[in-house]
Amino acid sequence: MALRFSTSCLEDSIDLFRYYKKLGDRAMAQMPDADLFTALDAESNSIAVIVKHLAGKMRSRWTDFLTSDGEKPDRHRDSEFENPPATRDEVLALWEKGWGTLFAALEPLRNADLGRTVTIRGERRSVTQAIHRQLAHYAYHVGQIVYLARHFTGEGWQSFTVPRGESARFNADVEAGRASQR
């Protein structure tokens, strides 16, 4: 997914959040249902658990984003790693609800809001810092989702980027596209 040119940190951040959501969407769409609930070992999280954690964090951070602490008193982080949703539909509903909360909080913001102050776990941060902190955290977990989905899908995996062994062909296609635009 090509990102569009922008000079707005807010627009770029929203675009990146959309990009990472789309990566997670595409990864989970490719994999068998049962493997959404499979952990690689006792100390690892399944995709369903990662989604539950992300949804809990998104709800806490983005609900009343500008006016209340980003760590809501009713969030119980440890419970996000227990009793994951039981079906693909439940996993995807949590996923969509979390991202919906994030976009509902960010889309009304304007560049002038980036210097405002918010609180997370009692610490004051600029809106820009809060957004970047979450962007980094979500990218980390979406990377885990993509990695696990790739692992469980195996040979049937459809690459999101240039597949292994295809770099030369990809570069030739890019160059041919540039030549045709001249």
pLDDT at 179 over 60: yes
Q: Write down the pLDDT at residue 48.
A: 98
Which residue type occupies 80? E
Q: What is the structure's pLDDT at 167?
A: 80
DSSP H or E segment with residue 119: strand 117-120
The residues pairing with 123 across neighbouring beta strands, listed in sequence order, are 120
Domains of the chain, first to last: 9-181 (1.20.120.450)
The answer to whether residue 174 scores a pLDDT higher than 70 is: no
Alpha-carbon gap, residue 68 to 62, rounded angstroms: 9
Q: How confident is the model at residue 77 (pLDDT cuts 50, 70, 90)?
A: very high
Residue type, 109: L
- Top mean pLDDT of 56-60, 155-159, 162-166 is at 56-60
- Residue 161 burial by Cβ neighbours in a 10 Å radius (0-12, 13-18, 19+): exposed
Whether 120 has a pLDDT exceeding 60, the answer reads yes
Burial of 138 (0-12, 13-18, 19+ CB in 10 A): buried
What span, in angstroms and rounded, lies between the C-alpha atoms of 38 and 115? Answer: 42
- Residue 38 contacts residue 26 (beta carbons within 8 Å): no
SS3 percent helix, strand, coil of the chain, rounded to 5, is 65, 5, 30
| More reliable by pLDDT, 104 or 170 | 104
Task: Convert the pLDDT of each residue in 128-143 to its tens digit.
Answer: 999 999 999 999 999 9
Distance between CA atoms of residues 38 and 106, nearest Å: 33
Average pLDDT of the chain to the nearest whole number: 92
3-state secondary structure of 106: helix
pLDDT for 182 equals 61
Around Cβ 121, how many Cβ atoms within 10 Å?
9
Alpha helices in the chain (DSSP H): 9-30, 47-62, 88-106, 127-153, 167-181
- pLDDT score, position 169: 73
Per-residue pLDDT, 8 = 87
Q: What is the DSSP string of 47-75?
A: HHHHHHHHHHHHHHHHTTTTTS-SS-TT-
The Cα 55–Cα 95 span in angstroms is 6
The model's pTM: 0.88
More confident residue, 135 or 179: 135
